[in-house]
Amino acid sequence: MALRNVLTDENPALHKVCRPYTEFGPRLHQLLDDMIETLIDADGVGIAAPQVGIIRRACIVMETNVAEGEEPYFIELINPEIVLAEGEQEGAEGCLSFPGRFGIVCRPEHVVVKALDRNGEPFEVEGHGLTARAFCHEIDHLDGVVFVEKATHMLTDEELAQLRGDDDEDADEELDGETAE
């Protein structure tokens, strides 16, 4: 496994519609392993292939809604599609490709996603809350759409400081963990 370089906003790779996978071999597996390592290193909750310069439909989402005492885990999604979206949530969102920038984005509260695993086997997975947000954010990346295009408001430095300083350190940690996608 190896860390991959995360591209930032000015890179055209982030604004392209990605091609689907038709082969599920070692190249894809290496990419997925590297993306997970890169995501852990960056302390984010999701990453998409175009963010590491690969214009293909693959992304990783961390499932953080786990029972107490259980570790969050990574969901690998190849050629994912949202097949059901319900409800609405509004909240602050960020992106590994836009370091330090956060914006308010409206997303569904619950989604069902159809995808292939790394071996090309189909599966369905659902997400609520932050996980639903992460699915939508990552799948947008595969269509060349970045969150700043969807944000109804980008947080100012003052608003960000206020959000972080609101409570205690827990709130701070939560913000870091929940917004970097």
Rule CB under 5 A: is residue 178 a binding residue for Ni ion?
no
Catalytic residue, chosen from 63, 76, 93, 138, is 138
Closest-by-Cβ residue to Ni ion is 95
Rule CB under 5 A: is residue 181 a binding residue for Ni ion?
yes
Residue 119, burial from CB neighbour count under 10 angstroms (0-12, 13-18, 19+): exposed
Provide the mask over 66-105, with x wherever binding to Ni ion is found by CB under 5 A and - wherever it is not.
-----------------------------x----------
In the structure encoding, which two tokens stand for residue 109, read together?
């509260």
Report residue 134 CA to chain centroid gap. Answer: 4
Q: In this structure, what are the phi and psi dihedrals at residue 56, rounded to the nearest 5 degrees?
A: -135, 160
Active site residue 23: no
Which range of residues in 15-23, 24-32, 153-161, 173-181 is near Ni ion by CB under 5 A?
Answer: 173-181
Binding site for Ni ion (CB under 5 A): 95, 181
User: Catalytic positions, please?
Assistant: 138
